[in-house]
Structure 1
């Protein structure tokens, strides 16, 4: 990978429509989308929108769908000037086309989910809002004070869908209500709005303090009212069946992968992959304990005082140190990493749902890429053996390398590619591929850390099995190597029992995981399926290039194509 030229903020870049028609359409799309979704400006670090909310009403959703349709028409009519624009056109057509299919299927307008619903979107934007001035805190207060408007629009949209019987499963509604009760201090110790007020620096207290407290109280009340509406009005109309069925699942799977896969073949492959990984785990277990008992090896690693950290804050500092070392080691050796992206921040999320996630940098890198961990309540000690591979997944060479580089490469990517295009199979598949790469490079030679990587890989293989299995209500193979409920059909309870028996993750996190799968069909398998397609793409490239194949160059070439669906990725790699 050649050293990129100086990055340019997309908000300052003006594309010549005649010279670069695809890039001009893409850049205009970002501007138009920001006008409809001001929270997106907050995410990108574009000033001037931090006191506004998106329109979550049916009319707001229709406006977004109309923008996508108009942009698709413009892309179809435009001729790319070179291969780079051709790749961008393919990527954008695939993404916007699938977004339109989700809208037409009324999936995006009816979704209530414990991880990817409107309630989570609205709450989480406060995690990314600037807080470095009194004016910035005024914007926080304004959004808090006005939060009842988007919540009311969400209610309007969900009610309209419910009139036609299009309602998410009751499990997702009840789970969302429990989250809202936590955020609003009605249960547990996690009053998000009180925490937001407590985070106001003393230097701004006189100017903003009273306004912020009043606004937080207003927001807390609005969210609590929304939660009661979900319980009293929407939940009674919701189906108890969690499975979405093959047709809807296949559409969701294509959206998260950017590729169409044979779901039954993939389900069977998930079983085969789990068996392969568990065989490796048994070998590592023998190295650690002298026995091939995987659970005994996990217990020994958990009990190792050299691998334990006693507080969330100390664990965050450990993650930060490991992420920094990986950046330093890989830069200039296995990857060329530009200076602006040689910074990542490890953060504790203000919520406690167990999620681990990455947020990209702003366009000007004033806010760096961040990895977040929402530590579950009651968890106060941590084992590093399970999390070394997580740091590589979220940091470098995983999400941070990929996402932050996309944001930086104004010389290669238009603004939509740099800041908006995200395909789970491409991005999460790369991050899982990155974990395996770090093993290949010797960074997981410690048997405990290697066991952690294998545990994470097995966890993702289990996701393939139970996500497809639960949503399609498939039979469990009668001859499965674990002897688990042979011949029975998958249910949520069977999924929970299976994942609890075969991963080292704590029970509260796994309960949330299963609820997440049921409310976000097709997303959880995209990690492992995405890794599979990345590995296949690498093998195909190596077969084409023969002795000329160079792994470092393959990574550079693949990342320099930018984010896209996995089917477009394969086609783009074949054209190199």
Structure 2
């Protein structure tokens, strides 16, 4: 009698990815699966439940896999820890019906759908034919999303009014910004081949009409129905989302206090650096106002894209072989301009599994043509090199030593954002930010992340502003106070600040992961350094850390400390 060997955790994880792609072709597009290029997910309640059923079945298979011989090896153990933590966190969000009120300005089914097109291959006529088919799928996908939101209305599960109003505006910008019936999809297919011109234009028009219909429903039905609903989520929902984004059950009051301690530390450093730029400045923000007028700037959208590309190329050359060991395909990263209608924050997209699509950084211009350097350098160390690109591209590069799940799908936001913020600090430690403009810009970015911890936790939990605060001590946080505080403590343009606050309101618990994740990375490095003493090799530690795949913060410090 023959017997079939039961799978180990990595095999369970890889099988999950295969099944996930079948249900979620947007994930397939991120991975570079060409069969996914013509399809879109089902965002309806039934589609959401299908994903949940896959997660439950996978957890059951994982139970068996963890009992198999060899499951205790580090490579299997890490994969099992991540898979169990991620699927459990995702199911908690699903079972609380959060998918029935998924509205925001940065992360929603509609945003994921549109973004998938920017990653779909466009090199051949066959690629464009797949895009036409995917465009024709937009109405069904949009209708499924609308059904989920409608069910949320029935159950009195409301998105926030502020996020909803912003989303309605974005839908208008994507679908018909000038009132002439010509939207983003029409612009997207414009470079397509002449042989498919009529088909692509018709498919784009179909997709745009679906967005117009969704915009009208959101504006005329959804927004009036949720009028007066809170923009904040309260402690119970916040804790659930914080677990999802951070991979740990946080002590939220301790995290809030940590945000304030970092606020005071960074503010002191900012005052010292501002004095070098504008002696006698009353505050760092007077120095920023001076830099906005008299500091170093890049003029032109094409010019800033090329400048950012050069900044990343220079970082690769300086760091490879000295502080990192980079494979040739990891060395490649592209600078791009984000499509119109994006949220204000820059972002990064990972390479496909075969690296045929490289890692890319994206800059939203918000209509600007003049860009201050102080606002760009540290941000691109975060988004590009040595930040998101080195981590996420390295995961893809070593996927054969991990699992596809660890290398691509199972990302924990706080791990990723924590590494990127750690990368900014690393570049400061290594002497790349000695120029006062660039270093003050770095500190401004650090201050923004500390302020995120304060306002994100503070307003959602309606906490008291402490007595040591220079801003309204003793009052309780509201979104209005959060926006006032945020505006007073960073150099960002007003439209960026508004976009940021809407993001915090619609993605509770995500924004705190930058500073809390950075803290985890720093603690893991310090523990390893203490354990190894003079034998500690920073380059070897960085590469080992970047090659272990994603982990939640509850596991990250432990694993980093062992390296």
TM-score by length of 2: 0.95
Does 1:25 pair with 2:17?
Answer: no
- Mapping of 1:546-561 within 5 angstroms? 546-561=533-548
From 531, 534, 558, the equivalent of 2:521 is 534
Task: For 2:239 and 2:524, locate their aligned partners in 1 and report how far apart those are by CA, in whole Å.
Answer: 22
Does 1:65 pair with 2:45?
Answer: no
2:384 corresponds to: 395
Per-residue CA deviation, residues 205-251 of structure 1 (Å, 9 max, x unaligned), is: 1x111111111111111101011111222222225311100011011
1:180 corresponds to: 171
1:507 corresponds to: 494
Q: Which runs of 5+ in 2 are unaligned?
A: none
Contact 1:21 1:81 in 2 (8 A): no
Q: Which moved more, 1:404-413 or 1:175-184?
A: 404-413
- Mapping of 1:326-337 within 5 angstroms? 326-337=315-326
1:193 corresponds to: 185
Task: For 2:189 and 2:38, locate their aligned partners in 1 and report how far apart those are by CA, in whole Å.
Answer: 17
Contact 1:19 1:81 in 2 (8 A): no
Contact 1:61 1:109 in 2 (8 A): no
Q: Which moved more, 1:440-449 or 1:293-302?
A: 293-302
Contact 1:385 1:448 in 2 (8 A): yes
Q: Which moved more, 1:118-127 or 1:359-368?
A: 118-127
- How many residue pairs match? The answer is 552
From 433, 445, 452, the equivalent of 1:463 is 452
Task: For 2:514 and 2:462, locate their aligned partners in 1 and report how far apart those are by CA, in whole Å.
Answer: 21
- Alpha-carbon distance change, 320 to 68 in structure 1, aligned in 2, over 3 angstroms: same
2:224 corresponds to: 236
Per-residue CA deviation, residues 61-90 of structure 1 (Å, 9 max, x unaligned), is: 111001111111111211315211111111
Contact 2:396 2:407 in 1 (8 A): yes
- Mapping of 1:292-441 within 5 angstroms? 292=281, 293-304=283-294, 307-352=296-341, 353-377=343-367, 379-441=368-430
- Alpha-carbon distance change, 564 to 64 in structure 1, aligned in 2, over 3 angstroms: same
Task: For 1:273 and 1:155, locate their aligned partners in 2 and report how far apart those are by CA, in whole Å.
Answer: 41
- Alpha-carbon distance change, 435 to 168 in structure 1, aligned in 2, over 3 angstroms: same
- Mapping of 1:206-221 within 5 angstroms? 207-221=195-209
Contact 1:20 1:81 in 2 (8 A): no
From 104, 107, 115, the equivalent of 1:113 is 104
Contact 2:26 2:41 in 1 (8 A): yes
Secondary structure, in 3 states, of the residue corresponding to 2:34? coil
Secondary structure, in 3 states, of the residue corresponding to 1:382? strand
Q: Which moved more, 1:108-117 or 1:242-251?
A: 108-117
Does 1:224 pair with 2:215?
Answer: no
Task: For 1:188 and 1:491, locate their aligned partners in 2 and report how far apart those are by CA, in whole Å.
Answer: 36
- C-alpha displacement of 1:370: 0.2
Contact 1:385 1:451 in 2 (8 A): yes
1:273 corresponds to: 262
1:3 corresponds to: none
CA RMSD of aligned residues (A): 1.7
Contact 1:311 1:380 in 2 (8 A): yes
Per-residue CA deviation, residues 185-217 of structure 1 (Å, 9 max, x unaligned), is: 2459993123213333xxx11x11111111111
- C-alpha displacement of 1:20: 6.4
Task: For 2:348 and 2:382, locate their aligned partners in 1 and report how far apart those are by CA, in whole Å.
Answer: 10
Contact 1:357 1:373 in 2 (8 A): yes
Per-residue CA deviation, residues 133-166 of structure 1 (Å, 9 max, x unaligned), is: 1121112122222211011111111111221111
- Alpha-carbon distance change, 159 to 443 in structure 1, aligned in 2, over 3 angstroms: same
From 133, 136, 144, the equivalent of 1:142 is 133
Does 1:152 pair with 2:140?
Answer: no
From 120, 124, 129, the equivalent of 2:115 is 124
Task: For 2:40 and 2:6, locate their aligned partners in 1 and report how far apart those are by CA, in whole Å.
Answer: 35
Contact 1:432 1:528 in 2 (8 A): yes
- C-alpha displacement of 1:18: 4.5
Contact 1:182 1:188 in 2 (8 A): no
Task: For 1:428 and 1:218, locate their aligned partners in 2 and report how far apart those are by CA, in whole Å.
Answer: 37
Task: For 1:315 and 1:129, locate their aligned partners in 2 and report how far apart those are by CA, in whole Å.
Answer: 25
Per-residue CA deviation, residues 447-468 of structure 1 (Å, 9 max, x unaligned), is: 1110110000001001111111
Contact 1:112 1:172 in 2 (8 A): yes
Q: Which runs of 5+ in 1 are unaligned?
A: 1-16
Task: For 1:418 and 1:453, locate their aligned partners in 2 and report how far apart those are by CA, in whole Å.
Answer: 29
Contact 1:42 1:50 in 2 (8 A): yes
1:85 corresponds to: 76
Task: For 1:387 and 1:186, locate their aligned partners in 2 and report how far apart those are by CA, in whole Å.
Answer: 28
Task: For 1:351 and 1:73, locate their aligned partners in 2 and report how far apart those are by CA, in whole Å.
Answer: 43
TM-score by length of 1: 0.93
Task: For 2:497 and 2:53, locate their aligned partners in 1 and report how far apart those are by CA, in whole Å.
Answer: 39
1:263 corresponds to: 252
Task: For 2:137 and 2:355, locate their aligned partners in 1 and report how far apart those are by CA, in whole Å.
Answer: 29
1:14 corresponds to: none
- Alpha-carbon distance change, 18 to 400 in structure 1, aligned in 2, over 3 angstroms: farther
- C-alpha displacement of 1:118: 1.1
Q: Which moved more, 1:181-190 or 1:31-40?
A: 181-190
Contact 2:245 2:513 in 1 (8 A): yes
